[in-house]
Every structure is written in structure tokens, then in C-alpha cells.
Amino acid sequence: MALGKCIMCGNEADGGLVANTQAIRAIRAIKQKLNMAQNNTLVVCPNCIEIHAKKRKNFENKWAKHAIAAAGIVVFFVFVPPVSGAPFNLASLVLAPMLAGVILLLSVTDYVPPLASAASTQGQATPSQAAQPPAYPMPPPASGAISGKEPPRAAKHSSSRKKKR
């Protein structure tokens, strides 16, 4: 529990922390560029937990459907034509990924971030990974590989070409 701004009702409340997902970071980065950043701690207050869980579930379902549709469009227009021997079509090569991107963007507009506790169980950072020591146990092996002397590259004289007038 943490004090922050509820993402559902907008009230200052003591609630469950919202996970700091890629999407949240991206939104924050954009807002900072626009000087709109409020840097609130984002929470879901106890009153909104249920509706948040519902909306999160809806978003996940929608996102999954959109991702499948987007992948289907790309496969159908980009990967199938060369295999089936269809004539090369630049428009479909360019438009299909764009259309796929638009479909994905449409579902981003009602993005509902997960709670921090829920995100940690989705394997973003498993405890075993977090427990690994960050220090290098061995000197990096690359140092031995580059110890052999290499002849320095001769600088190419761009002015060596003589221009005839």
C-alpha cells in the first residue's frame, strides 16, 4: 500500500501500487517532454480494486485479439504473397505493417496498467534473476583477445585523388 493518485477515480488515496511498466515509462517520458509530468505515485485505491481488475482483464483480452489481428495482417500481406507467387506489391508491404500498428495503437488508448504485485508474478523480474550479483566474477575475456597487436589502419587520404581540370 502506498499513498498516491488512484488511476481509476483520480482521488488521492492509500492503495496498491501500479506497476512501472514500459507503457507507463513511455507515457511519463512523453509528458516530461511536454512539461506535463506530474510524477504522481500511481495507485489503485481499495474502492477501485474490483473495477480495475475487471478493466485490466478486458484490456488484456482486447490487446491479445488486436495483437493476433495485427500479426495476421502482416503475415497475410507481407509474408504470404512472395510464397504464393503473387506479383510484388510495394503498397501492401508498406501499408500492412502500418495498419497493424494502428490496430495496436487503438488498444493502447484504453491501456490499463497492472498492479505492481500482479506484474511481479508475470515474470518480468524473477527472484532468481534479481538475486544474481551484479559484480563481474571474472575479468572480461575480451581483454585477452585484443591484446595481440594489430597494425593501425592507414588513414585514407581523401585528397589523394587528383582532379583533372
9 binds Zn ion (CB under 5 A): yes
115 binds Zn ion (CB under 5 A): no
Of residues 17 and 104, the one with the C-beta less far from Zn ion: 17
| Segment near Zn ion (CB under 5 A); pick from 3-11, 59-67, 116-124, 146-154 | 3-11
| Segment near Zn ion (CB under 5 A); pick from 5-13, 88-96, 119-127, 130-138 | 5-13
Single out the residue of 18, 19, 48, 100 in contact with Zn ion (rule: CB under 5 A).
48
18 binds Zn ion (CB under 5 A): no
Of residues 8 and 18, the one with the C-beta less far from Zn ion: 8
Supply the DSSP string of the chain, one letter for each residue.
Answer: -EEEEETTT--EEEEEEBP--HHHHHHHHHHHHTT----PPEEE-GGGHHHHHHHHHHHHHHHHHHHHHHHHHHIIIIIHHHHHTPPP-HHHHHHHHHHHHHHHHHHHTT--PPBHHHHHTTTSS-HHHHHS-SS-SS--THHHHT-S--PPPPPP-TT-SPPP-
Contact positions toward Zn ion, by CB under 5 A?
Answer: 6, 8-9, 45, 48
